[in-house]
Amino acid sequence: MKKIFACFVGILLIAPFALKGQQANVNLDYNPQKNTEGLVPFSAPINSPEVHDDRTVTFRVKAPGAEKVELPAGAIHTALNLGREPLPFTKGEEGIWTLTIGPLPVDMYAYHLRVDGVQIADPANTYAAFTAMPPYSQLVVHGDGPAYYDAQNVSHGNVTRHVYHSEVSKGERELYVYTPPGYDPKKNYPVLYLLGGSGELPSNWVYDGRVNFIMDNLLSEGKAEPMIIALPNNQIIHRNHPNHAELTFDLFEKELRNHVIPLVDESYSTIQNPKSRAISGLSMGGRHSMFIGFRSLDLFANFGILSAGDTDAENSLKHFLTDSKVNEKVDYLFVGQGTKEAQGFFNNRVQGLLDALNNHEIEHEYYIGGHGGHDWSTWRHLLYYRFLPNLWRK
């Protein structure tokens, strides 16, 4: 009897340490919002969001004095084909508002809440984004195991933050650089310059895009070439500046040429020629990659245009399109967008670019994939399933 009791006590002592609590932030779990211990996130009054194994999700907001709580349209609505109308919460006991939706596809979703007309991040969710926009929360809908963008038990690269002075912006700026597992300073590597969209900061490619984990996993699977990935801040002028469109491309090209590329080449072992440089970006970053990259063939020979283009590409890219040697100078030109994105408003610019490339017989790869729209679900998918595996292999 004593032996049985001792064994039972041992289980009680060991088991709690094996459990993963909701938003415990102990490990980089693939299912951080599954409620396994019945504990609430530290300093939060309730659990929200709670992701169930059937991939339904329950949101909760404790707001006794509120008259209306809603989930506005966004990536979640896109995934569920819900249109643009907000989803209302229901008020229950102790002023706790709840909303259960789904099931959702396995993925990560950015979302806001709206309480009495005020947009807020989910006050009980510890997974919040740091961007150049008002902060939002992150919903992680898990599957049966880690996804391609999750931290897995593989060799990991490093992400380093650089802070430097810019004469272009007249201030201090930041740049993140990913080096692959086993990075060897005696070996030279190709470099991908990867850009964000409107309102994104370079760290968003790490926390929302999970580019470092995606690259780690691709390398462990033998599906990509080792590379350095530089994540500069392409917010070079206030996004609401009345002349943003006229100024941003020239300014960011100066930033790349005068500061970003020199800093990377001086700090890391890089192959310093166009064939071993790529530029890619999502949305606004895709337009930076296109308008700056296509006129900078002395710097770049590889391009990834993600969810971007131009309705008047025939005129805006005239020099590039009419360069008789462009197919010799460009190694890889990728254009991609999400499945639901291709069905809506954002397709117009992409189609304008594709039409111009086809009209001038410029070699490129076009791909539509994933279940997302103009959101991170699409951009993670494009990186893992198409762009990164093909980069430096064409």
- Per-residue pLDDT reduced to its tens digit, 379-391: 999 999 999 999 9
Is the pLDDT at 4 greater than 70, yes or no? Answer: no
What pLDDT score was predicted for residue 334?
Answer: 98
The domain covering 19-141 belongs, at the CATH homologous superfamily level, to Immunoglobulins (2.60.40.10)
Q: Write the pLDDT tens digit of every residue in 155-171.
A: 999 999 999 999 999 99
CATH fold, domain 158-390, is Rossmann fold (3.40.50)
In the 8-state DSSP scheme, what is residue 341? G
Report residue 127 as tokens.
């997974």
Q: How confident is the model at residue 131 (pLDDT cuts 50, 70, 90)?
A: confident
pTM for the model stands at: 0.93
Give me the pLDDT at residue 1, please. Answer: 41
- Distance separating alpha carbons of residues 341 and 209, to the nearest angstrom: 17
Residue 13 has pLDDT above 50, yes or no: no
Report the range of poorest mean pLDDT among 3-17, 49-63, 301-315.
3-17
Which pair of tokens denotes residue 50? 């709670």
Could you tell me the pLDDT band of residue 21, with boundaries at 50, 70 and 90?
low
Q: What is the pLDDT of residues 183-219, one digit of tens each?
A: 999 999 999 999 999 999 999 999 999 999 999 999 9
Percent of the chain residues topping a pLDDT of 90 = 89
- Name the token pair of 273: 């020629």
For range 7-36, the mean pLDDT: 67
pLDDT class for 20, splitting at 50, 70, 90? low
8 A C-beta contact, residue 175 and residue 184: no
Percent of residues in the chain assigned helix, strand, coil, to nearest 5: 30, 25, 45
Cα radius of gyration rounded to whole Å, the chain: 23
Sign, CA dihedral 25-30-31-33, equals positive
Partnered with residue 165 across adjacent β-strands are: 172
| Position 7 pLDDT exceeds 70 | no
Averaged confidence pLDDT in the chain: 93
Q: How many C-alpha atoms does 176 have within 13 Å on its Cβ side?
A: 20
Can you tell me whether residue 344 is helix, strand or coil?
A: coil
pLDDT of residue 6: 39
The ranges assigned to domains in the chain are 19-141, 158-390
Question: Three-class SS of residue 178?
Answer: strand
Q: Is the dihedral of CA 177, 183, 185, 187 positive or negative?
A: negative
Query: If residue 3 lies in a helix (H) or strand (E), which one and from where to where?
Result: helix 2-18
Cα 174 from Cα 346, distance rounded (Å):
29
In whole angstroms, what is the distance from residue 194 CA to residue 278 CA? 8
Beta bridge partners of 162: 175
pLDDT of 28 higher than 90: yes
Q: How confident is the model at residue 345 (pLDDT cuts 50, 70, 90)?
A: confident
